[in-house]
Amino acid sequence: MLEYDMYHEYKVAQESRVHVSFKGAIAQDVLAELGAWIRASLGSDKESNVKKIFAVFIELSQNVLHYSAERITNRDGKDNGVGLMNIYEKGDKYFINSGNLALNEGVSRILEKIEHVNSLSQDELKVYYQKQLRMPRPDGSKGAGIGFTEIARKVNGPIKYHVDKINDTTSFLTISVCFNKET
């Protein structure tokens, strides 16, 4: 008897039309390959929607790359975050999910950022985005600190999340967003 049921995974992927599913260390070369796959896989959708999906996928992947508590050093000596990423289609929507280990000490700050951008209208998001661009980079940030704002501006609906506490140090953080199909 096998320890892992690949047929179950196959059925789930088939029912939801999984376009991309990845688990491992997120590195720039991996992002480039996954990006090419996304563009090819979603080619039947409107180009503007594919660009939004691609941009959000990259943003969520970079969060895993930079902030995952699980790290792997590659052959070049670069430190990469480990996580899961997927894009799937169900009904008239596309979904992007990311998941990774997160240090408990930072989880509440992440959730506050998500809740804040979820509370803003599209007009308020534009103003908030411009304000963030003029501010200095937040301490400990590997980017401009606008990731969740950028995501919220592109997706249809709120940024959803779920936290599974693993132990006193880490939790597993899942972030999920959706897009309406524009065919």
Domain that holds residue 132: 18-180
Within a domain: 13: no
Say if 5 falls within a structural domain: no
Residue 8 included in any domain: no
pLDDT at 140: 64
Q: CA 56, CA 45: separation in Å to the nearest integer?
A: 16
pTM: predicted TM-score of the whole model, two decimal places: 0.88
CATH number, domain with residue 176: 3.30.565.10
Which tens digits make up the pLDDT trace of 123-135? 999 999 899 888 8
Q: For residue 6, tell me if it sits in a domain.
A: no
Taking residues 64-72, report their average pLDDT. Answer: 94
Q: What is the DSSP letter of 31?
A: H
Residue at 9 is within a domain: no
Burial 144-166 (b: 16+ CB within 10 A, else e): ebbbbbbbbbbbeeebebeeeee
173 CB-near residues (< 8 Å, 6+ apart): 99, 100, 101, 102, 107, 110, 161, 162, 163
Q: What's the domain count of the chain?
A: 1
* Residue-level pLDDT at 106: 94
Q: What average pLDDT is seen over the chain?
A: 88
Domain for residue 3, yes or no? no
Helix (H) or strand (E) holding 61: helix 47-67
Euclidean distance between the first and the last CA atom of the chain, given in angstroms as a whole number: 44
Q: Is 92 left (phi over 0), alpha (psi -120 to 50) or beta?
A: alpha
Highest mean pLDDT among 18-32, 44-58, 76-90: 76-90
In a domain, 59, yes or no: yes
